[in-house]
Amino acid sequence: MTEKLPVMELMVTIVDRTKAVQATNFFKGKNVSLTLSCWGRGTASTEILDILGIGEKEKVVVFGLTPRSWIPALITQISDAMQLRNAGRGILFTIPLSSVNRGIPRRYLSAVREKKNEERVMYKTNENKYELIIVSTEDGFVDSIMKSARNAGARGGTVMKARAVGDETTESFFGLKLYDEMEILAILVQREEKAKIMSAVSRTLAEKSPEKSTIFSVPVDDVVGVGADLENPAPV
């Protein structure tokens, strides 16, 4: 009988660039596969950076694929190591995956088998209390887009640069078509705020760059570092 492969999730950590090496080394030290990082910048206004838990505006975004069963322990360990539960230290969240090539979970089989003998930690999610809004747009439009999102209730986001290296009709990032110079804006929001914020952003996209912009959202499981103020946001 074929052994069941572990269910995988994508863990995303956003921290100040000064913490880039510490974050990537943490995941590598835990044998997390496909640890990738890219530069980004925060969009939050200075006065609410600490509320959001994202500190400086220059960011690094670290992606790592990990078995779902490892997530509780990893969250505890990296939260302690990087003090993510303290304001201004960073944000961490996980995204459930609908599919992944078999080679990745196979790498974890022996390690997952060994961990079964360790003390089990009950895996809990926040029942998709949060969602991640992803926007791709032409370079130069992010500020106006973020202004619309903020007016609709968003507190801040992270911007990543993207550039197509081949045919512009086929190159993509997270399913988004990429043109020569693009910016990817990621905004973490509470689920009940998503529709209002996406509607506001969509209206701005229609005015600024209708043909070269895309917006969608994905559910987020575990969230660390956003703080109580995101759950009860004050007017900005």
pLDDT, tens digit only, all 236 positions of the chain: 456 777 888 899 988 888 888 988 898 888 887 677 888 877 655 444 443 444 457 888 888 888 888 888 999 999 899 888 877 788 899 998 877 766 666 666 666 655 554 444 444 445 568 899 999 888 788 889 999 999 999 988 888 877 654 444 445 555 555 556 778 889 999 999 999 999 999 999 888 776 778 898 988 888 887 653 344 333 22
Q: Do residue 138 and residue 187 come from a single domain?
A: yes
Q: Do residue 143 and residue 73 come from a single domain?
A: no
Q: Do residue 43 and residue 82 come from a single domain?
A: yes
Per-residue pLDDT, 48: 41
Amino acid (one-letter) located at 159: V
Per-residue pLDDT, 176: 54
Q: Note whether residue 157 is domain-resident.
A: yes
Q: Do residue 36 and residue 100 come from a single domain?
A: yes
Write the CATH number for 159.
3.30.70.120
Per-residue pLDDT, 109: 64
Q: Note whether residue 230 is domain-resident.
A: no
**Residue 57 belongs to what domain range?**
8-115
Per-residue pLDDT, 136: 84
pTM score > 0.85 for this model? Answer: no
Burial class (CB in 10 A: 0-12, 13-18, 19+), 171: middle
Per-residue pLDDT, 222: 84
Per-residue pLDDT, 103: 64
How many other CB atoms are found less than 10 A from the CB of residue 196?
Answer: 15
Per-residue pLDDT, 111: 65
* Overall domain count for the chain: 2
Bridge partners for 176 per DSSP: 173
Strands annotated E in 117-226? 130-138, 158-162, 172-173, 176-177, 182-190, 214-220, 223-224
Q: Do residue 71 and residue 168 come from a single domain?
A: no
Please identify, among 81, 115, 149, the residue that sits at the C-terminal boundary of a domain: 115
Q: Note whether residue 120 is domain-resident.
A: no
Helix (H, G, I), strand (E, B) or coil at 2: coil
Q: Judge whether 71 and 222 are in contact, CB under 8 Å.
A: yes
Q: Do residue 15 and residue 108 come from a single domain?
A: yes
Per-residue pLDDT, 180: 60
Q: Do residue 20 and residue 105 come from a single domain?
A: yes
Q: Note whether residue 2 is domain-resident.
A: no
Q: Note whether residue 154 is domain-resident.
A: yes
